[in-house]
Structures are given as C-alpha cells and as structure tokens.
Chain A
C-alpha cells in the first residue's frame, strides 16, 4: 500500500530564516505531487505541483519554491521566511490515472515569529 510522509510535523522559525519541508511517498512510482497551504480557518491553496523529477509548476507567485530531486520526494523551500508564510502545509500525491483522487500527508504546521 501507499503511504505519504511529511517532515517535520511542527516547526517554529524566526522571520528571515530559511525553510525546508520534506514530503516522501512510498509504494508507488511516478506520482503527481502537490504542495498546499492552509491558513488558520481557511481552505486549501495549491502552491506547486510536479508531474515528474525536476518538473515544477507554480500556482501563485510567492516567497516559496519547490523541488523534486527524486521521483518520490518533494521539497518546499524558502530563503527568507515572512510572517505571512505561517500556516499548515500539506503534501499530496495522485496516481496518473483517469480522474484519480489525491491522497494527503499528515501536514506540517509552520509558525513564523
């Protein structure tokens, strides 16, 4: 069966510090991968998605970047965090099949102070 991991679970960082969040998927090959942000009490905002190694599509201009160095690894980064980067970050994967659903990781809660 497939599983998706996110690390770390919780992170408190000062403004201006760098960020690296990791997402890994097990039990599948060549998945589509997604990063979402969820602000407190709000819906989901799609940040990035990737259809393959080194292929990143950005949905919104922002302070963050994403990379996919391996087939089942997706990394969300920032060189300098802003207060507005605080939120709950969710990674998701999807099989490349007709209208297949997405499966989500447990999330990383980021607080920028």
Chain B
C-alpha cells in the first residue's frame, strides 16, 4: 500500500543552521506530496506542496522537490530561526475519488536553539 517514511526526531539545530528533513514515499502511481507544520498547541498548517515529478514547492524559506526517481520529498531550509521550532509532517495523497485519503508520516520534531 501507499506509505510515507520520515526521519525520526527530534532534530535540534542552532539558529541559522541548514535544515534537511528526509521524507520518502511508496505509492502505486503518481501522488501529490505535501509538507505540513504543527506549532505547539495548534492544528496542522499546509506548508508547501508538489503535484508532479520535478515540481518544487516553497514557502516561508522552506523548499522541497518532488523526486520521482528516488521517491523522495525532502524538506530544506537554508537558515532556520527559533520560530521554526515545530513538528513537521510529510504526506501524500493518491487517487481522484472522494474516498481518497491523505497518508501522513509520523512527524519530525524540530527544535532550534538561539
């Protein structure tokens, strides 16, 4: 079946460090891919998305490129801030029916030290 695997956390970095959170997927077709962010005590917010191979999603300095050949969608940011501390979820959705469901990874907690 379809699945998403993300790197285990927590990830702890110093401010202005480079960030990569790995995400790989398994899907029997061509999914759309997403990154969500969850700040403490809040719901999930869509951070960025990519709907086809080689698409790059970007938002708030974060980027992720849909790599079909490696079935990956790694999240990157060149210089993290304390305010980026949150839990990040990679996700995919397959199919066009109303019953299609989003598959989430287990989440990666990111902590940024000042």
Contact = CB atoms under 8 A, between A and B. Distances in A.
Contacts of A100: 93
Contacts of B106: 42-43
A104 interface: yes
A92 B38 CA distance: 14
Chain A interface, >50% SS class = strand
Contacts, number: 55
B102 A102 contact: yes
Interface residues of A, number: 26
A101 B51 CA distance: 10
Nearest to B34: A101
A107 B43 contact: yes
Interface of A: 6, 32, 34, 41-44, 46, 49, 51, 57, 90, 92, 94, 96, 98-107, 109
